[in-house]
Amino acid sequence: MKIAFIGLGTMGAPMARRLLEAGHDVTVHNRTRVREEPLAAAGASRADSPAAAAQGAEVVFTMVGDSPDVREVILGPDGVVHGLGEGAIVVDHSTIAPSVAIEVANEVRARGGWCIDAPVSGGSEGAERGTLSIMMGGDASAIERVRPLLEVLGSTLTRVGDSGSGQLAKAVNQVVIAGTYAAVAEGLTLAMASGIDVEATLTAISGGAAGSWGLVNRGPNMITGHYPLGFRTRLHYKDLGIALDAAAQHEVPLPLASWVAQQELALLRRGFGDEDVSNIARLAREAAGIDALPVAEASEED
């Protein structure tokens, strides 16, 4: 299938590569053009603009930073809509405001195309392995038409409603991560401060009602106080902002997510924005005045 992929960052580049390796005719474009080169070397065509990339493509993928970037790339002067053919489908994998996703989808529809909001979770590892969870909002038949392509990128594909709904589901995902990581950080801080065997405690509680992905996969790093990526605090803070704005529009109070966002802002302020978001444990630990445990050899592998 002839497709375009716009936005070749940490997530976009491996996603575009997977589509290329699945045998599709892929045209790529990235604002910083040099990032197109590795994909061109692997067989992709290059385009000078989003509009040019979209020309002749049946499906156009976008994976950029935030709401203004999506507006620019899809609706701007050189945007996708200026090259998009009748009936072509835009799949936006960016995490943006649900209201902007709706606005963009309406505009694309008015010009004869379809736009699906399809934010993902699963990180760069998920992008490389094709195991992303893709949360989708938009026309159900358009989603069915792109499903074979999305199966190259993700292992869980879920339509949750009309345009904007995928972004709301992603917001829910980030809200749950916020509080869950905060809970793990607080519990492990108590364990460390009270002098019990923290690693044994982690093992003992992981299998029960306290268990979570964050506890199992980020707990060990919280204990040793090093926070390799993962998912940047800076980006999670951006996503929580989207979630809090969307919640405010629906008049839904999110006191816990709001509190975590403030903690993440403090981490950004102090220069920790590019660590993994599990670094909320820094603040819990510092509040208790305790040091991280030495990194054991076995933990270095993460």
Size of the site for a second copy (CB under 8 A): 71
* Pairing assessment for the beta strands 120-121 and 132-137 based on DSSP bridges: antiparallel
Please state the φ and ψ torsions of residue 6, each to the nearest 5 degrees. Answer: -120, 120
In whole angstroms, the minimum distance from the beta carbon of 210 to a second copy comes to 4
In whole angstroms, the minimum distance from the beta carbon of 278 to a second copy comes to 10
What does the angle CA 291 – CA 292 – CA 293 come to, to the nearest 5 degrees? Answer: 115
Q: Using CB under 8 A, which of the segments 23-31, 39-47, 151-159, 291-299 binds a second copy?
A: 151-159
Q: Using CB under 8 A, which of the segments 16-24, 70-78, 196-204, 265-273 binds a second copy?
A: 196-204
Dihedral, 201, 207, 211, 217 alpha carbons, nearest 10: 80
Contact 173, 141 (CB under 8 A): no
* Residue 170 annotated in active site: yes
Q: Is 168 in the site for a second copy (CB under 8 A)?
A: yes
- In the bound state with a second copy, the residue whose beta carbon lies nearer, of 106 and 249, is 249
- For the chain, what's the residue count? 302
Contact 115, 60 (CB under 8 A): no
CA distance 139 to 102: 12
Closest CA to 291 of 203, 205, 151, 189: 189
Q: Is 186 in the site for a second copy (CB under 8 A)?
A: yes
Q: Is 212 in the site for a second copy (CB under 8 A)?
A: yes
Interface residue with a second copy among 38, 158, 229, 293 (CB under 8 A) is 158
Active-site position among 18, 24, 29, 170: 170
Q: Across-strand partners of 120?
A: 134
Contact 124, 117 (CB under 8 A): no
Q: Using CB under 8 A, which of the segments 51-59, 60-68, 75-83, 286-294 binds a second copy?
A: 286-294
Q: Is 247 in the site for a second copy (CB under 8 A)?
A: yes
Would you state the structure tokens that stand for residue 266, as one six-digit string?
């403090």
Q: Using CB under 8 A, which of the segments 39-47, 79-87, 99-107, 285-293 binds a second copy?
A: 285-293
Contact 90, 60 (CB under 8 A): yes
Q: Using CB under 8 A, which of the segments 46-54, 57-65, 106-114, 132-140 binds a second copy?
A: 132-140
In eight-state DSSP terms, residue 80 is: G
In eight-state DSSP terms, residue 23 is: T
Q: How far is CA 203 from CA 38, 290, 300, in A?
A: 42, 21, 18
In whole angstroms, the minimum distance from the beta carbon of 151 to a second copy comes to 15
- In the bound state with a second copy, the residue whose beta carbon lies nearer, of 287 and 296, is 287
Could you give the residue ranges of the DSSP H alpha helices within 55-129? 67-70, 98-110, 123-129
Q: Is 163 in the site for a second copy (CB under 8 A)?
A: no
Q: Is 228 in the site for a second copy (CB under 8 A)?
A: no
Residues 61-100 that bind a second copy (CB under 8 A): 98
In whole angstroms, the minimum distance from the beta carbon of 295 to a second copy comes to 21
What is the helix (H) or strand (E) element at residue 234, kind and residue range?
Answer: helix 233-249
- In the bound state with a second copy, the residue whose beta carbon lies nearer, of 21 and 144, is 144
- In the bound state with a second copy, the residue whose beta carbon lies nearer, of 42 and 200, is 200
Q: Is 124 in the site for a second copy (CB under 8 A)?
A: no
Report, as residue numbers or ranges, the catalytic residues: 170
